[in-house]
Amino acid sequence: EVQLVESGGGLVQPGGSLRLSCAGSGFSFSDHFMDWVRQAPGKGLEWVGRLRDKTQSFTTEYTASVKGRFSISRDESKNSMFLQMNSLKVEDTAVYYCARGFCSGGTCYTGDKWGQGTLVTVSS
C-alpha cells in the first residue's frame, strides 16, 4: 500500500528555520514527481514546489513566494523527501502536505496520493 507521512512541523519564530520530512512507502520516490502543497488556516490550497523524478535529474521548481527561502531535497536510502524552510514569515503558517505525482498526456499531475499534513506555525 502506498503511504506518505509528513513530520517536522511545529511552532517557529519569524526568521527561523524548519525542516519538514515526507517518508514514503509502497513506491520509490525516484520514479515519481513529488509536490509540496500548503493550506493556510481557513484558506485554499497553494502549490509550494516540486521535485522531479530521476528521468529529469531530480530538478526542482518553486512558487515565487518561497523561492530562495525554501528548498526541496531527497534521501533515496530513506525513500524520503524534505522541505527546508528558512527565513520563515508569519504568512508561511499552514498545513504542509506532500503529494505523489504522476505523468499522463504530456504533463505531470499532483497528488494521486497525499500525506496527512503537518502544521507549521510561524509566530512570535
Distance in angstroms (rounded) separating the CA atoms of residues 56 and 6: 24
**Among positions 5, 7, 47, 93, the unique one binding other proteins when judged by CB under 8 A:** 47
Sign of the four-CA dihedral 41, 44, 92, 77: positive
5 in contact with other proteins (CB under 8 A): no
**Considering beta carbons, is residue 82 or 96 the nearer one to other proteins?**
96
119 binds other proteins (CB under 8 A): no
20 CA to centre of own chain: 8
Spatial distance between the Cα atoms of 104 and 53, rounded to a whole number of angstroms: 14
Q: Is 91 in the site for other proteins (CB under 8 A)?
A: no
Of residues 82 and 97, the one with the C-beta less far from other proteins: 97
